[in-house]
Structure 1
Amino acid sequence: MRTGIVILPEHRWWIAEPKWRAAEEYGFHHAWTYDHLGWRTLVDGPWFGSIPTLTAAAMVTTRLRLGTFVASPNFRHPVSFARELLAVDDVSDGRFTLGVGAGGAGYDTTVLGGKPPLPRERTERFAEFVELLSHLLSQDKVTYEGRYYQAVEARGFPGCVQRPRLPFLVAANGPKAMEVAARFGTGWVTTGPPTEDHDEWWRGVARMAAQFDETILRTGRRTRVDRYLNLDSAPVYSLSSVACFTDAVGRAAELGFTDVVSHWPRHDGVYAGSESVVEQIAADVLPALG
């Protein structure tokens, strides 16, 4: 079982840098940050761009995989975004993973003044977004004509450090998005179902894992797709205690997940907790997970 940690991009770098260094020193396999213009209850607080943050994190780490958790089409175009991804993949020397999702309702969909897409439009746009990004990151020149995105002789040189392109971690809870994950993803990540019942959340995760297995079989995917679980979409915060984290990791392993992701504790509000729990997990739990 591999473990990851999300560090929200809400701190000035002199505060954030030690957290990224610690994530590597503690033994986490991967570390992530959100890719939003503003997020939920934190929209009026400090917030920084994901790609510059991850580029800075790449400069102060050497082994830790880094990624977005997750980027979406809500405010990005694949052509310009691909250039940013090439840069962070290069600076990190091939340690970058693109976490990508369809994007939900909220601040990111309204701040630019556009009309939020309908659910079906969001799904169709997401499929185009991922497909075009895949082309742009693996080919020298791309022309693409879709309903939502176009590219005219878009250049991709010099290409990714990772070949044929950097890996995609595709977020998917529904059948259409799971098909995108099966087609383009090196990994699939789920948040599980929306519920306040902890046991029901785990039952929902089990159903989604089975559904993704069926999607893989139906699409004929032959290569391995890693399975990631966002533990903190559950009603109980995974780093509220060592016992809570250990229990969540055990349940995820039983369901066939290869990776779990938690969130760095904050002082208050969402993901409120103590950094001493992270330290204890690093000392007593992560070494046993390998």
Structure 2
Amino acid sequence: MKLARFKHAEKEQLGCVVAQQIIAIPETLFSGTMPALLNQFEVFKPQLEQLISTANSPLDLHQVQLLAPIPQPEKFIGVGLNYADHIAETGLAIPEFPTLFNKQSSCVTDPEAPIYRPHISDKLDYEGELALVIGQYCRNISAAQAPQAIAGYTIVNDVSVRDWQIKSPTWTLGKSFDSHGPMGPWIVTSDSIEPHNLDLKTWLNGELRQHSNTCHLIFDCYQLVATLSSVCTLKPGDVIATGTCSGVGVKMKPRGYMKPGDVVTIEIENIGRLSNPILQESENNSFISQRPVS
């Protein structure tokens, strides 16, 4: 099942995506957040299936604005150096333990929303990635138990500002600029997808830059959940982006960085497509405010 957040007629809602249509979940059925729905998915699954089978007024996808399925994950964790082909292009050794870093949740943005090239750097790079979304609270679980804790899968573009990435050993600064965490277009629930045999492609302006398969992950989804849960409690709505394959812009000759006017698109088999345009950030964007500024 595909679960989405979307906006229609100025109202944010949850819905089920079927083909090129979306069926809104009525508040009389469920009125909580996406993490709460994922946490209770098995309880609501029969009712959602009935909703899908009896829906008489679905909306076409072009009528709605799709939103990031998890807008503010408590934990947004990235994985580096998790495909052998990507490691080969970096010239680094294959890690014996996952390379993990944080992306700040304020970087999350929606499908089709702009990715802004910051005015302090022009080294803006893409990283097409499969991401898993936690659905159950878990701690100290094994890789064999991990599937029970994963609610589903989505696409993340782990946008990276390469010079700022190397300023800090944790990589967090270069991974967390505002708008540098596109996510979506929806979550495919784990009962309807095999995460470790999915074709992954990334295009920049229609040019195929990345092409691999999740079967080549060094540390698979279940191993990553087991590793992280040995340290901290994972919670519904936590997002783990599993790493990128070869073909990133920083390793091209000449460099293949994204620039204003570009469009980056990531496609993962059995999930969908995530596409975002690149815009230049204004140099006059500083503010201090009592409330969020869009």
Q: TM-score, structure 1 length as denominator?
A: 0.25
Q: Greater relative contact order (Cα 8 A, min sep 6): structure 1 or 2?
A: 2
Q: Which structure's residues are more often helix, by fraction?
A: 1
TM-score, length-normalised on structure 2? 0.25
